[in-house]
């Protein structure tokens, strides 16, 4: 099994997404927030690439909530920001949330042509590893995994890369990786003893801490707190799937 890691939604990748499982990572904070929202009972998340698209989807789904961020803060007129802290049972249970973030929703859109798309964060690492492993065993047509790090405005993002490295490390045996996958694995292994401190010292970690989101940085750095596997189905992100 070949695992290719790409550093941002806009990055070149080898081959095509056909017959691939795409795993999208945006540790700070989109995929962590999505896992939290679904774990807290949200019916679905509808990713929108822009504020305009989010508002258009809201007109089609007037009962849905609007969530997301630009420059890490709440968008004017939106119900929710991008902090997992806001996606409580009280607010999201049974509801759809239209969500647009600077990098994460772009990465999901880029990954959409893949056979299967799953959203990964540290929070739901083990569940995604096991689900993807099972899917590969059950679907002989799957011939590779592409891990799409959301990056930071098209630039390399260390939190996403560390999360990719942990996935590769746990996924284990019988795999080949590209250079960024090898680097991700090395980075994860060398920062495993002090993962939280490493994540805090990244560019994105520092921005969030400066903006008062230290609690989010700590929450999103916690491993295996949620058992949800968010999957993309018909343009919506839901918990599990039947296909």
Chain residues in the site for its own copies (CB under 8 A):
6-7, 11-14, 152-158, 161, 178-180, 182-183, 186-187, 189-191, 201-204
Q: Nearer Cβ to its own copies, position 75 or 158? A: 158
Helix pair angle (158-171, 125-138), 10° resolution: 50
Q: Nearer Cβ to its own copies, position 181 or 230? A: 181
Interatomic CA distance for residues 100 and 85, integer angstroms: 17
**Minimum gap (Å) between residue 187 Cβ and its own copies:** 6
**Minimum gap (Å) between residue 221 Cβ and its own copies:** 15
**Minimum gap (Å) between residue 189 Cβ and its own copies:** 7
**Minimum gap (Å) between residue 128 Cβ and its own copies:** 22
Helix pair angle (179-191, 158-171), 10° resolution: 90
Contact 213, 72 (CB under 8 A): yes
Q: Nearer Cβ to its own copies, position 67 or 104? A: 104
SS3 state of residue 223 = coil
**Minimum gap (Å) between residue 12 Cβ and its own copies:** 5
Q: Label residue 185 exposed, middle or buried (CB < 10 Å: 0-12, 13-18, 19+).
A: buried
Query: Strand 44-47 vs strand 96-100: parallel, antiparallel, or unpaired?
Result: parallel
Handedness of CA 1, 234, 35, 196 (dihedral sign): positive
Q: Nearer Cβ to its own copies, position 30 or 180? A: 180
Q: Nearer Cβ to its own copies, position 206 or 224? A: 206
Q: Nearer Cβ to its own copies, position 11 or 227? A: 11
**Minimum gap (Å) between residue 14 Cβ and its own copies:** 8
Interatomic CA distance for residues 188 and 168, integer angstroms: 9
Q: Label residue 140 exposed, middle or buried (CB < 10 Å: 0-12, 13-18, 19+).
A: exposed
């Amino acid at each position: 099994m070949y695992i290719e890691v790409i550093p941002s939604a806009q990055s070149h990748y080898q081959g095509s997404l056909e017959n691939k499982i795409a795993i999208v990572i945006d540790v700070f904070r989109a995929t962590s927030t999505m896992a939290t929202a679904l774990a807290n009972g949200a019916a679905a998340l509808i990713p929108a690439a822009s504020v305009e698209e989010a508002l258009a989807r809201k007109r089609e789904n007037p009962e849905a909530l609007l969530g997301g961020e630009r420059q890490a803060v709440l968008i004017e007129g939106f119900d929710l920001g991008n902090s997992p802290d806001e996606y409580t049972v009280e607010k999201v249970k049974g509801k759809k949330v239209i969500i647009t973030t600077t990098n994460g929703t772009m990465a999901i859109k880029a990954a959409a042509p893949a056979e299967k798309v799953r959203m990964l964060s540290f929070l739901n690492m083990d569940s995604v590893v096991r689900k993807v492993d099972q899917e590969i065993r059950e679907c002989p047509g799957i011939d590779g995994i592409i891990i799409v790090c959301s990056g930071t405005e098209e630039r390399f993002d260390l939190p996403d890369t560390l999360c990719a490295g942990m996935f590769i490390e746990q996924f284990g045996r019988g795999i080949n990786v590209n250079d960024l996958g090898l680097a991700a694995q090395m980075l994860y292994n060398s920062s495993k003893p002090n993962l939280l401190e490493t994540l805090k010292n990244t560019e994105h970690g520092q921005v969030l801490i400066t903006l008062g989101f230290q609690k989010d940085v700590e929450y999103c750095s916690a491993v295996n707190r949620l058992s949800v596997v968010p999957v993309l189905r018909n343009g919506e992100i839901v918990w599990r799937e039947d296909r």
